[in-house]
Amino acid sequence: MRIFEDIKVGLERDPATRTALELFLTSPGLHAIWAYRIAHVLWGWKFRILARMLSNWAKFFSGIEIHPGAKIGRRLVIDHGIGVVIGETAIIGDDCLIYHGVTLGGKTLDPVKRHPTVGNRVTIGAGAKLIGNITIGDDCAIGANAVVTKNMPGGTVAVGVNARLLNLTGDDLYVI
């Protein structure tokens, strides 16, 4: 069952949380993800206003805004989640970790795919901004406060406001 999977992964990735009961009762990231899942089902059933109402309720209580139209994989952990914003057409793969203040935002108001696609096993540092219909490959890491507006190949690290891609040895690949 996904609830138990969420609790297990939350305990694995948050050393400050000691027990499953503590995580269950006090994790705004976990609560936001659970509310999103219900809202996402409602969105798929075309109960759009009800889905948005639930999403806004979850935002009010958790400080985390996840649009019910977004697509989120398994075992996402949102740690210290206040200020996280995940847009309508965002896609997030499995086993990702998102810290507080992260935005997966759009660049256009047109009704098209306008938010990032994030691969599997991606870590997104506090305050990072991923903007536009870009693709972040599997096994990437995005540093705190990095601004990413172009695609990232798998296995790279983005750092800086004009984010630079580094290979795993720390050498620059190119500026994005």
At 170 the pLDDT is: 62
pLDDT at 161: 83
Angle at CA of residue 37, ends 31 and 41, nearest 5°: 150
Fold of 2-175: UDP N-Acetylglucosamine Acyltransferase; domain 1 (2.160.10)
pLDDT given for residue 1 in this prediction = 74
Q: Are 122 and 141 in contact (CB under 8 A)?
A: yes
Each residue's pLDDT, cut to its tens digit, for the chain (176 residues) gives 799 999 999 999 988 899 999 999 999 999 999 999 999 999 999 999 999 999 999 999 999 999 999 999 999 999 998 999 999 999 999 999 999 999 999 999 999 999 999 999 999 999 999 999 999 999 999 999 999 999 999 999 999 887 677 777 666 665 55
Q: Where does residue 156 fall: left (phi above 0), alpha (psi -120 to 50 degrees), or beta otherwise?
A: beta
List the domain boundaries for the chain: 2-175
Indicate the pTM of the whole model. Answer: 0.91
Rounded-to-integer distance, Cα 103 and Cα 157, Å: 17
pLDDT at 174: 57
What is the number of other CB atoms lying within 10 angstroms of the CB of residue 74? 14
